[in-house]
Chains A and B, each alone.
Chain A
Amino acid sequence: MDPLKPLSQHWSSPRALMLVHGVGDYHPGDYDDLLQSLAEVLGPELWHSIAVYPVFYDGINDWFVEKTQLKAGVQAISKAVSDRLGASGNSGGIADAFSEGAADVLWPALVRDARLAIRDNLIAQIQQVVIDGRASGIPRWHQQITIICHSLGCIHTYEAIHAAAEVPDYKLRPVTDWVRFANVVMFASPVQLYQSVALSAPVRPFIPDPDEMATLRPLSMPGQPDMSQRFVRSVRNWISVTGAYDPVGGYLLGKQLGWAYMDIQPRPEGFTPIIDPQTDLPFAKAPDELTRVLKSSLVGASGPKIPLQNPHSWTRYVSKNPDVVRQCFA
């Protein structure tokens, strides 16, 4: 996918869906399992009425990996994550496997150009979605735009929806530009983990201008004050779903890691965190199995092919939480 050409299409209803993937080298076709799962959950009629926009941003990651020599910074991040997990009393195997994946997640924070370029990529797609809706005859106040994201994609989505509300040049503010997202659903969001690690002592010196990143400020609902100074949120319905065996979302072997689990306090109207108990997975009885599964899925190109028995699988999250998805398109 050419990052300079956001996907554009006709809408056959007021509903549009953006999908933002997590770690991994996604290409056209890599969303197929997820799309099939969404179609099963929503039913064919509703599904075919939705304009679906899969986002591909990994090509931009590649620009910066090729251009810069970031291994030193990435190794520092890896070690910081590994140390924190180790301090939480977890096996070295899980800590190592997880820290490799987390490094992939965190390195764009090191380069301002990378973080802004990926943000621009998402912003451009959102702008194109709004324009497509208008070109299809849907006034912007009737557009129902939903974003569903997974893993690292939650960080980029979090950055994008905050930038949309804050940067006037993007023309995506909820009051002045009349752009409000009907739903944002985050599966296995590492936003809190990202913040904790990026602001920790060993990593903080590597992060330029942390205030530029919404993820590194106190977590909040994006929005804009209206003319009466009432806060109007950009997202009507924001749901964060995390599995009890998914460390990326801040849970390890059924135990919540306070420094890694995403919640917004005080909890704003419109934000709902949900824990998926994942009791059908075998890890409560065989914790070592989690190490193997994480190792097979968190790193690099295997991202799109995470198997269903993996607690981090996006497709699994959708099929096991159908009500979360259905309420977005009710």
Chain B
Amino acid sequence: MLRLIRAASILLLLGSPASALAASPCGQSVGVTAEQLSGMVDSLRQVEAFADSLVHDQAYVRSRGTLDRSLERIQRLTRPLPRPGLSTVLRWNTSNVGEGFAASALDSDLFVVQTFFGSYVQPYVSEHQDTRLDALLDPLDRLMDGQTRAALASSIDRLRHYQRKFGKGSVPLNWAETALYLGVFQHVPGFGPSAACGPGPWEPVAAYSPVYATIRNKSLVGVSVLELGARRYFFSEKWGTGGVSGLLRPAYASLGAAMASEHDGALENPFKGVERWGGFLAWGDIKLAVVGAHHPKLLVSKQLQYVKTFF
């Protein structure tokens, strides 16, 4: 069944010459139609002739050959492809065919086209008012507009993720967590940021939570817990919206080991006496922990930094 679905999707992709330009792993793709590409190639063929009249060195001759091959490949991509039979498709490997492959090839050829005209024609048109050349270059400019818009959308996405992880509503880091994050974890993939993808979704948890609550002898008592683990931020726009849906889809969750002292009590030293070990799980601001191997005890708390910078 899965192979049939895969084959059907490949057939759909092959039948559609319109494509999406490849984006970086975290970037947004750019929609481009066959008509756009075809019109652009026709226009650029005329600009190419103009460039020939401007530049005559050896490097240009080599670049010109590279450009011709790229324009030819782009032109080929805009022609409808024959639909292969189902049996043929089932034997193909998706890594060799399909949208990703076409988009990546198109991206490389467009890089050549943009760079060629950016190298040899841009200096002229930026210094002269030539309405004919401006018009001929317009399809290329429109294509670059699509790329810039997609890049802007990616920039905004990254900023939204930074805001989720570091802005108002995120969990403040205490001294220990800040030191761990800056000293170690900001360099670890998944925790630290990258220029293309923005922040990593994870951050370390090393906190003393003094007011977990539990029931003992039918009355509510406090328990102090040391938490060691990691917190994950959910960057999807559907998560972390607050309200009732925010309870189901919070902005963050955390998981790790929990340690409590031998005796219950708020503001207890967790290292005092025979420690009770267990684990904690936080879903948004609601935290649950279980400690003690022989007489496991369920603890409940709320995410809050009780003393700023400390815990």
Q: List residues of A whose CB falls within 8 A of some B CB.
A: 3-4, 6, 60, 63-64, 66-70, 73, 110-114, 116-117, 119-121, 123-124, 127-128, 130-131, 134, 139-142, 163, 167-172, 174-178, 180, 206, 208-209, 212, 226-230, 232
CB within 8 A of A178: which of B114, B154, B163, B181?
A: B114
Q: Which 4 A-B pairs have the closest CB atoms?
A: A226-B119, A228-B59, A124-B155, A171-B151
How long is the Cα–Cα vector from A180 to B170 in the complex, in angstroms? 38
Q: Which of B125, B147, B159, B170 contacts A121 (CB 8 A)?
A: B159
Given A113-B186, A176-B111, CB of A69 within 8 Å of CB of B122: no
A214 → B minimal CB distance (Å) = 12
A177 to B111, CA, bound (A): 9
Q: With A176-B118, A227-B59 as known contacts, state yes or no: A127 contacts B151, CB within 8 Å.
A: yes
Verify B160–A4 contact, CB threshold 8 A. yes
A227:B125 contact, CB within 8 angstroms: no
| B172 contacts across to A, CB distance below 8 A | 66-67
Nearest B residue to A170 via CB reads: B151
Question: Does residue B198 face the partner (Cβ distance < 8 Å to A)?
Answer: yes
Known: A112-B193, A170-B155, A228-B59. 10 other contacts (CB 8 A): A67-B167, A110-B182, A121-B159, A124-B155, A130-B148, A142-B125, A171-B147, A178-B144, A208-B182, A208-B187
Known: A177-B118, A228-B57. A167 touches B195 (CB 8 A): yes
**A4 and B148 in contact, given A66-B168, A70-B178, A110-B182 (Cβ under 8 angstroms):** no
Interface presence of B166 (CB below 8 A) = yes
| B178 with A140: CB separation less than 8 A | no
Could you tell me which residues of chain B, from 91 to 144, have a CB within 8 Å of some CB in chain A?
Answer: 111, 114-116, 118-120, 122, 125-126, 134, 137-138, 141, 144
Does B75 belong to the interface (CB within 8 Å)? Answer: no
Q: How far is the CA of A112 from the CA of B200 in the complex (A)?
A: 11
Cα–Cα, bound, A127→B150 (Å): 10
Chain A residues positioned under 8 Å from B86 (CB to CB): none
Q: Would you call the interface of chain B mostly helix, strand, loop, or mixed?
A: helix
Cα separation A172 to B194 with both chains bound (whole Å): 18
In the bound assembly, the distance between CA atoms of A120 and B197 in angstroms comes to: 11
Which residues of chain B are near A128, meaning CB under 8 Å? 152
Q: State which residues 182-239 of B face A: CB under 8 Å.
A: 182, 186-187, 192-196, 198-199
Q: How far is the CA of A172 from the CA of B63 in the complex (A)?
A: 22
B187: chain A residues within 8 A (beta carbon): 208-209
A178 near B182 with CB under 8 A, answer no
A-B contact pairs, 30 of them (CB 8 A): A6-B152, A60-B162, A63-B163, A63-B166, A67-B167, A68-B182, A113-B162, A113-B199, A116-B195, A117-B159, A117-B166, A131-B149, A134-B145, A139-B125, A139-B134, A140-B141, A141-B122, A163-B195, A170-B151, A171-B144, A172-B151, A176-B115, A177-B144, A177-B148, A178-B122, A178-B144, A180-B126, A209-B187, A226-B120, A228-B60
Q: Given that A63-B167, A139-B134, A178-B144 are contacting pairs, would A69 and B115 also be in contact in the complex, using a CB cutoff of 8 Å? A: no
Among A73, A134, A172: residue with most chain B CB under 10 A: A134
In the complex, which residues of chain B have a beta carbon less than 8 angstroms from the beta carbon of A110? 182
Cα distance A110–B179 in the bound complex, in angstroms: 11
CB neighbours of B154 from chain A (8 A): 169
**What are the residues of chain A within 8 A of B116 when measuring CB–CB?**
227
Bound: A134/B172 CA distance, A: 41
User: Cα distance A316–B245 when bound, in Å?
Assistant: 52
Q: Known contacts A68-B181, A124-B155: does B122 contact A175 (CB below 8 Å)? A: yes
Give the Cβ gap from B58 to chain A, nearest Cβ, in Å: 9
Q: Is the CB of B156 within 8 A of A124?
A: yes
> B53-65 CB contact bits vs A (8 Å, 1 = yes)?
0000101100100
Residue of A nearest to B148 (CB): A171
Residues A117 and B162 in contact, CB atoms below 8 Å apart: yes
Q: State the Cβ distance, A163 to closest chain B Cβ, in Å.
A: 7
Kindly state whether residue B271 has any CB partner on chain A within 8 Å.
Answer: no
Known: A141-B126, A175-B122, A229-B59. A69 touches B144 (CB 8 A): no
A206 to B144, CA, bound (A): 40
List of B residues within 8 angstroms of A228 by Cβ: 57, 59-60, 63, 119
Q: Which residues of A contact B167 (CB under 8 A)?
A: 63, 67
Q: Is B175 an interface residue (CB 8 A)?
A: yes
Which single residue of chain A is at the shortest CB-CB distance from B170?
A: A67
Instruction: Look across to chain A and name the residue whose beta carbon is closest to the beta carbon of B165.
Output: A113
Report yes or no: B174 in contact with A140, Cβ–Cβ below 8 A.
no
Chain A CB count within 10 A is highest, among B24, B118, B194, for B118
Q: Which residues of B contact A229 (CB under 8 A)?
A: 59
| Alpha-carbon separation in the docked complex, A230 to B173 (Å) | 48
A169–B125 Cα distance when bound, in Å, is: 25
- Which chain A residues border B145 with CB–CB below 8 Å? 131, 134
Write out the residue numbers on chain A whose beta carbons fall within 8 Å of the beta carbon of B60: 227-228
Do B59 and A120 touch across chains, with their CB atoms under 8 A apart?
A: no
Does B309 touch A at the CB level, under 8 Å? yes
A139 to B181, CA, bound (A): 45
